[in-house]
Structure 1
């Protein structure tokens, strides 16, 4: 997949002289709604004998318009992950634009003239609610007017589940609530985060449940506090286990949130390993126990449920 990194104003020499069908969007998470847009663009690219291309951005556009809130700093798919997902969907070229104030200050007509036409777009494809400037004028309904016959426009209807729109916002809300099962349904795949294994308090090994403590970059979403089934990727190997996001409240108040994963039937030293966590299913919320014995009893139940969950996956 060819990735062309662009800073405004566009240098036309960066752009290969060949037609593309262009899917547009920020595509955070590359969820089922995004997948529908790209699938439609792919079908049109095959029909037009053109390359399948995507126009997306290197960071959240909110950075340009207002002071960042905590949620604006986190992504369902960081840029490297998003590019991997797009490539798996068959995208051949990505125009990755640095979203700056100067870029955002363009009128819709200037954006079309300077970018969509310069990309050699034959069809522009986006979701029904996609905008490329001020929401009242930069709509999909008006894009054909700005195109002036130089390319056609294809608008993809919303994807819905439970009569609600599938959106990155809805997925983030599910993540906050710890509803990883719903988030995965909306994404169309199990959510993944990355991190590195670091030293923790080593308390887990004293109670028979040693854990890999995973330091996760602050720009990635994590599910809310709770206990989950998950898989951990080390190198090229995936290991099943159960993972806690919480404050270890049994051992004191006001503790920091940590991500700790117990791997089933694993022996080895993981310190310093870069890892991926594939979040599968929520088991329960965090519970404060009277003592370590109560915690161990619950962990044994969690382990039984985790083993049963992964056994069902292999049947």
Structure 2
């Protein structure tokens, strides 16, 4: 297969007779929010096993996040990589197929035995690759050893050991914490790429242009995890080109007299085109300062000038 194929699944897997695969599968299993360096090791191993054994490489992922469905945290509604972003990253890793299992209460109640028999064997899995802390089945009652036992003798199971950064396991939770703290350099090391949010450019209040810093107001289609409020050096990907810039994520306290929802607005350097309605991807490169309230517009303008100088310096370093 030359292009990534995305196949939605709902448990029980009825109607799979219409699914015709040329070969059995080597499958990486996980939610993979962030597709961070640890996840990449799992997926790359599945791709390697597929090539060595002449299988199709696949990812079995879940949507929505299991913890959101099981009531273990509303924060999981917001994700590091929404599904369409995640599948794009899978394609870059060389995966042939992505199975997106709808995670609902019915699937959550499936026993480990039924998961192996009714999902993995139904999908013709021959090789399965998981992380060291993989749990599956009702209330997470199955672990990697159970998977090996239940898969024997027809499904080989490969368990990938964790990666560590600063003595801490690379994980989606660690990345979320780094974003909450504004540590974008750490997030980039954990992800293996800059943290990125994608959306469209919408009309704002137009105030940025009146003070000499026209801004692109960003609206996001998907519920991304946002970094802490503040000012950032960014790289904006727009129309196939990359533009350095500075972004403010906050409440605009200098102008707003009452609490409102946080907004993101970006000023792109040496750029002056009408881009309303355009798709944009924003890579967060470095935290510059917390958001603050200024006593006058003149004070704000001076600070934006300083922020822009710093952002130019920082983004030049990333080229």
TM-score by length of 1: 0.94
Instruction: Give unpaired runs (5+ residues) of structure 1.
Output: none
Residue 47 in structure 1 maps to residue 59 in structure 2:
no
Instruction: Please name the residue that 2:136 is paired with.
Output: 132
Cα displacement (A) at 1:175? 1.4
Kindly tell me: are residues 103 and 256 of structure 1, through their superposed partners in 2, closer, same or farther at Cα, counting changes over 3 Å? closer
Equivalent residue for 1:191, pick from 192, 195, 205? 195
| Cα distance in 2 between the residues matched to 1:131 and 1:306 | 43
Instruction: Please name the residue that 1:34 is paired with.
Output: 39
Kindly tell me: are residues 218 and 22 of structure 1, through their superposed partners in 2, closer, same or farther at Cα, counting changes over 3 Å? closer
Equivalent residue for 1:105, pick from 109, 115, 124? 109
Instruction: Please name the residue that 1:121 is paired with.
Output: 125
Equivalent residue for 2:242, pick from 238, 255, 264? 238
My pick for the range that moved more, 250-259 or 303-312, is: 250-259
Runs of 4 or more consecutive aligned structure 1 residues displaced over 3 Å after TM superposition: none
Cα displacement (A) at 1:136? 5.8
Q: Is the 8 A contact 2:109 2:138 kept in 1?
A: no
Q: Is the 8 A contact 2:201 2:275 kept in 1?
A: yes
Equivalent residue for 1:8, pick from 11, 30, 37? 11
Instruction: Please name the residue that 2:77 is paired with.
Output: 73
My pick for the range that moved more, 25-34 or 144-153, is: 144-153
| Deviations, residues 158-197 of structure 1 (Å, cap 9, x unaligned) | 1110110111111112112222221111111011112221
Cα displacement (A) at 1:63? 3.4
Instruction: Give unpaired runs (5+ residues) of structure 2.
Output: none
Instruction: Please name the residue that 1:86 is paired with.
Output: 90
**Matched length:** 313
Cα displacement (A) at 1:68? 5.7
Cα displacement (A) at 1:4? 1.5
| Cα distance in 1 between the residues matched to 2:91 and 2:147 | 26
Cα displacement (A) at 1:58? 2.3
Residue 258 in structure 1 maps to residue 257 in structure 2:
no
- RMSD over aligned Cα atoms: 1.7
